[in-house]
Amino acid sequence: MEAFTTLDGLVVPLDRANVDTDAIIPKQFLKSIKRTGYGPYLFDEWRYADRGEPGMDCSKRPLRGDFVLNQERYKGASILLAGENFGCGSSREHAPWALLDYGFRCIIAPSFADIFYNNCFKNGILPVVLDATVVRQLMEECEATPGYRLRIDLPEQLVITPSGETFHFEIDAFRKHCLIHGLDDIALTLEHADEIRAFEKEQRARMPWLFIGVPR
């Protein structure tokens, strides 16, 4: 998992509340368990005027010009501003996969659905909770300012605007540690590889019948 320390990124405002995971990545794209390749289908029903299916060439599909991701000024955005209860609905991990594959590393919203919030951390996305009035301020500044960028400082837990205004956000210390060091669940387990090998060696000596046919 790619580490996250600071991010200076272009911002895109998605001024909608209760954006569910089926809107983030529709159900027909859940057939694959790979973590990549979902970016072109992110918000598929809102981005395109036709129905998307896995394997389609999205470069040839008709776009909905009024959707923010289709506007040229937001191309290359890595920070998403969203409304309340972002990521509600089913618990599909494909939702953060699609957001990350598109290029988003940080999502700022007044609140998130719990499972989606947890899945973001497991996939290298920083979900930042700020007060609804602050998110509204950032939305308005973003919409009024082409090329609007924010700086996210995870070690200091700050969102910094172009004018230098700062907003502090809370984050669990363990999740912060994992993001800063790029540790997903597998990497966390491998940090204890020596202890795991020592335990297996002891088990082989104490209960060898459990390891019959198991290569060393």
- 26 phi, psi to nearest 5 deg: -60, 155
State the pLDDT confidence band at 188, using cuts at 50, 70 and 90.
low
> Which region, left, alpha or beta, applies to residue 55 given φ > 0 means left and ψ of -120 to 50 means alpha?
left
pLDDT in tens, 135-180: 999 999 999 999 999 999 999 999 999 999 999 999 999 999 999 9
**Percentage of the chain modeled with pLDDT above 90:** 78
- CATH, domain range 6-183: 3.20.19.10
Which secondary structure element, helix H or strand E, spans residue 68, and what is its range? none
Strands 79-82 and 166-168: unpaired
Mean pLDDT of 115-130: 96
Domains in the chain: boundaries: 6-183, 184-216
CA 177 to chain centre: 16
